[in-house]
């Protein structure tokens, strides 16, 4: 991204604060003028004192000069303090406001993106977070520095340069010659460092992702005593990061030295030139200090050039990936406009093929299904067969590569996505609990529900009594609940939502036998007049289904009722017999004899 593009991109976020920008610019201009006062005063003082000494006058005569310069300098400092305060305060205000707007916009935007965006390689949780945080930080720092550092410094520099030329053309020329050398060195420095900076950015993203992974998998790490392995992985990363950082620092110190040398040469030339002008009677002695101070005013901002350049480079690097996130409009969830008054819930899947974005291998092949409302449908198959993927397509999380999915005779593509999801209840195997209280977690199913309705939903999923036994009841943190209890919370949420279409992905996987039976009864009760698709590895969930689809390696290989497909002697029989054997049915039936 070029600097021009960067400013073009950030412009809409700065525009609403035009007033603040103009105020800061105005203060900057005044600040640039007051910054030159010291040089003037010093020249005046030296010349006046030199004159008094020439006249052999003593302290008495000098008092009025001292009083004058004291008044001027104190007044200037008071004005300057107010100006600096105003500049910093309004600059900071601008930064904070822009940071807030950027953060809010990126969250709003990211929430509209389709699921594939979040599973793609650059957007895994830690990486995405680093890209967003660093992007906002570097962009807002750039905005702030532009108004607090860059503008005032360069305004100072230009005013000082004009004054140097005004004092003497050759003195001004020395000041002017130093600038391109400084620019050249700073730009070379920045260019040589930009590759390493990009590396640092990538390594930081990987590091955050790694730390997040450790935290998420801490139980596994500890149980397999793989702390050393994880430490080793982090160490390699850390070493790479340190090496790159050191490389950047080394280059930085080298160029700083060169720039410092250039500046000192400039000062030496100014001193010699001015001394010559004073000795040849073209100037008064006060000009020596005057010129050095002006030169300092010219070189001080340029000394900051590489820092500002660094920040701009940081902003360019991080903003590139930040604006990539913000502008990923192609990732926006596709949506139609169709919103029927009522959804009956008949799904027809016709010749659907599907490949996950970024995957080479196809996941679903020529899927044909009919799911009827009022009937229960089960998806059965070995792990990885593609059952959850079918649900993902029916929920419009992903689009098929080819083929068509119809709901009540209308293509799913034409449906308004928000409306569609509002009519679907999805209970997942895992990751369904948010950081919040039990009440908040259940209410997620219907934000407008009363506490009584929340409790009724909890009763239907047989968790109410357990909640009431907790010290903080419905205000207990849901994350402290057991896996099975959390699953019941997710089911309660679905009951509260009360949608006409229900997808259950192994809804009772973490439940004990009694809870499974209770939940099964509750689910059976609400299944009436709804479309229900259940993915399950449990006989009890499957056997009563009106229609069972059996999946293998991404294909539907059998379909029908339990009785129909069992006698096909195919995959279903294989799976079913294995399930029965794993339950040790022989021994169970002997127990009941
Ligand atoms: P299980 O019973 O274990 O839940 P499943 O039948 O539901 O398995 P799916 O989750 O549909 O299987 O996965 C089918 C295939 O798709 C697997 O090979 C899996 O690796 C792949 N897959 C699933 N989700 C994604 C994703 N987000 N990105 C890429 N590939 C995926």
Q: Give the residue, out of 384, 550, 575, with the most ligand 1 atoms within 8 A of its beta carbon, to mutate for a pocket test.
A: 384
The tokens describing 470, both together, are 């907790």
Is there a contact between 439 and 474 (Cβ–Cβ < 8 Å)? yes
Q: Is the beta carbon of 121 within 6 A of some atom in ligand 1?
A: no
Which residues are registered as beta bridge partners of 424?
Answer: 501
Closest atom, ligand 1, to C-alpha of 119: 27
**What is the per-residue pLDDT for 306?**
65
State the CB neighbour count (10 A cutoff) for residue 593: 4
Per the listing, tokens 């390594």 go with 203
**What is the per-residue pLDDT for 402?**
93
Q: Is 370 helix (H, G, I), strand (E, B) or coil?
A: strand
Is there a contact between 145 and 153 (Cβ–Cβ < 8 Å)? no
Is there a contact between 463 and 488 (Cβ–Cβ < 8 Å)? yes
d(CA 581, ligand 1 centre) in Å: 26
Q: How far from each other are the two terminal CA atoms of the chain, in whole angstroms? A: 77
* Rounded CA separation 181/144 (Å): 27
Closest atom, ligand 1, to C-alpha of 358: 29
Instruction: Supply the residue whose CA is at minimum distance from atom 23 of ligand 1.
Output: 389
- pLDDT tens, residue order, the chain (593 aa): 677 888 888 889 989 998 888 888 888 778 777 877 888 888 888 888 888 878 877 777 778 888 888 898 899 889 988 988 888 888 888 889 998 999 999 999 988 888 888 877 777 777 788 888 888 888 888 877 776 677 777 777 888 888 888 878 888 888 888 878 887 887 788 778 777 877 887 888 788 788 888 887 887 788 778 888 888 888 888 898 899 888 888 888 898 888 888 888 888 888 888 888 888 888 777 778 788 888 887 887 777 766 777 777 777 777 888 888 888 888 888 888 999 998 988 999 999 999 998 888 999 999 999 999 888 899 998 888 999 999 999 999 999 999 999 999 999 999 999 899 999 988 887 757 888 899 999 998 888 989 999 999 999 888 899 899 999 899 988 888 887 888 888 889 988 988 999 998 887 776 777 777 777 777 777 777 789 999 987 777 788 888 999 999 999 999 999 888 888 888 888 888 887 787 777 777 777 77
* DSSP type of residue 330: G
Question: Burial, 315: exposed, middle or buried (Cβ in 10 Å; 0-12, 13-18, 19+)?
Answer: buried
Q: Is the beta carbon of 386 within 6 A of some atom in ligand 1?
A: yes
* DSSP type of residue 475: G
* Rounded CA separation 416/409 (Å): 15
Which residues are registered as beta bridge partners of 532?
Answer: 376, 502
Per the listing, tokens 């700073």 go with 186
Backbone torsions φ then ψ of 410, nearest 5 degrees:
-115, 135
Which residues are registered as beta bridge partners of 367?
Answer: 352
* Rounded CA separation 48/285 (Å): 10
Q: Which helix (H) or strand (E) holds 493?
A: helix 483-497
d(CA 108, ligand 1 centre) in Å: 28
d(CA 389, ligand 1 centre) in Å: 6
Helices (H), ranges, 217-226: 218-223
d(CA 388, ligand 1 centre) in Å: 7
Q: Is the beta carbon of 381 within 6 A of some atom in ligand 1?
A: yes
d(CA 386, ligand 1 centre) in Å: 6
Is there a contact between 482 and 402 (Cβ–Cβ < 8 Å)? no
* Rounded CA separation 6/304 (Å): 21
The total number of residues shown for the chain amounts to 593
Closest atom, ligand 1, to C-alpha of 554: 14
* Dihedral over Cα of 489, 490, 491, 495: its sign: positive
Is there a contact between 39 and 67 (Cβ–Cβ < 8 Å)? no
Q: Is the beta carbon of 355 within 6 A of some atom in ligand 1?
A: no
424 contact partners, CB below 8 Å, separation of at least 6:
394, 395, 499, 501, 502, 503
Which residues are registered as beta bridge partners of 437?
Answer: 477
Backbone torsions φ then ψ of 26, nearest 5 degrees:
-65, -45
* Rounded CA separation 150/91 (Å): 12
**What is the per-residue pLDDT for 538?**
76
State the CB neighbour count (10 A cutoff) for residue 503: 25
Task: List the one residue out of 479, 529, 538 whose CA is nearest residue 511.
Answer: 538
**What is the per-residue pLDDT for 51?**
83
Query: What CA dihedral angle connects 224, 228, 233 and 238, to 10 degrees?
Result: 150
Rounded to two decimals, the pTM is: 0.71
* Rounded CA separation 208/130 (Å): 7
E-assigned strands of 374-528? Answer: 376-381, 402-407, 410-411, 424-427, 501-505
């Amino acid at each position: 991204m070029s600097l021009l593009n960067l400013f073009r991109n950030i412009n809409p976020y700065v525009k609403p604060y035009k007033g603040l920008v103009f105020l800061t610019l105005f203060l900057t201009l005044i600040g640039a003028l007051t910054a030159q006062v010291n040089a003037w005063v010093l020249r005046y003082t030296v010349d006046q004192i030199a004159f008094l000494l020439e006249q052999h006058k003593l302290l008495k005569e000098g008092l009025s000069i001292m009083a004058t310069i004291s008044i001027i300098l104190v007044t200037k400092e008071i004005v300057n303090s107010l100006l600096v305060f105003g500049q910093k305060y309004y600059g900071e205000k601008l930064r904070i406001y822009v940071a807030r707007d950027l953060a809010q916009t990126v969250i709003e935007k990211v929430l509209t993106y389709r699921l594939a965006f979040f599973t793609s390689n650059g957007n895994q949780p830690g990486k995405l977070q680093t890209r967003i945080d660093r992007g906002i930080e570097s962009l807002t720092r750039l905005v702030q520095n532009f108004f607090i550092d860059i503008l005032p410094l360069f305004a100072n520099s230009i005013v000082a340069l004009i004054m140097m030329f005004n004092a003497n053309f050759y003195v001004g020329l020395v000041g002017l010659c130093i600038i391109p050398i400084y620019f050249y060195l700073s730009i070379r420095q920045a260019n040589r460092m930009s590759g390493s900076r990009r590396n640092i950015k990538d390594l930081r993203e990987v590091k955050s992702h790694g730390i997040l992974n450790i935290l998420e998998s801490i139980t596994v790490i500890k149980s397999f005593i793989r702390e050393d392995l994880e430490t080793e992985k982090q160490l390699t990363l850390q070493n790479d990061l340190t090496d790159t950082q050191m490389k950047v620092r080394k280059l930085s110190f080298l160029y700083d030295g060169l720039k410092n040398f250039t500046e000192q040469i400039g000062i030496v030339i100014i001193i010699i030139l001015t001394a010559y002008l004073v000795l040849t009677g073209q100037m008064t002695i006060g000009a020596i200090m005057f010129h050095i101070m002006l030169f300092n005013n010219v070189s001080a901002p340029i000394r900051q050039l590489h820092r500002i350049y660094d920040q701009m480079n940081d902003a360019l690097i991080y903003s590139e990936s930040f604006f990539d996130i913000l502008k990923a409009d192609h990732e926006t969830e596709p949506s139609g406009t169709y919103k029927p008054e009522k959804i009956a819930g008949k799904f027809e899947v016709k010749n659907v093929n599907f490949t996950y974005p970024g995957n080479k291998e196809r996941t679903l092949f020529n899927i044909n299904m009919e799911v009827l409302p009022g009937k229960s449908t089960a998806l059965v198959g070995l792990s990885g067969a593609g059952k959850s993927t079918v649900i993902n397509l029916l929920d419009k999380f992903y689009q098929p590569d080819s083929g068509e999915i119809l709901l009540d005779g209308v293509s799913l593509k034409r449906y308004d996505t928000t409306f569609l999801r509002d009519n679907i209840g999805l209970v997942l195997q895992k990751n369904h609990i948010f950081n919040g209280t039990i009440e908040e977690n259940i209410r997620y199913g219907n934000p407008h529900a009363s506490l009584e309705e929340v409790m009724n939903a909890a009763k239907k999923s047989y968790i109410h009594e357990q909640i009431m036994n907790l010290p903080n009841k419905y205000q207990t943190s849901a994350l402290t609940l057991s896996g099975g209890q959390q699953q019941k919370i997710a089911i309660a949420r679905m009951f509260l939502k009360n949608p006409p279409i229900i997808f259950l992905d192994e809804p009772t996987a973490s439940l004990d036998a009694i809870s499974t039976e209770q939940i099964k009864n509750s689910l059976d009760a609400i299944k009436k007049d709804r479309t229900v698709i259940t993915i399950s590895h449990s006989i009890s969930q499957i056997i009563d289904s009106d229609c069972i689809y059996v999946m293998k390696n991404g294909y539907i290989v059998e379909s029908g009722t339990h009785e129909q497909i069992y006698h096909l002697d195919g995959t279903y029989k294989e799976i079913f017999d294995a399930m029965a054997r794993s339950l040790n049915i022989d021994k169970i039936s002997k127990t009941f004899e």
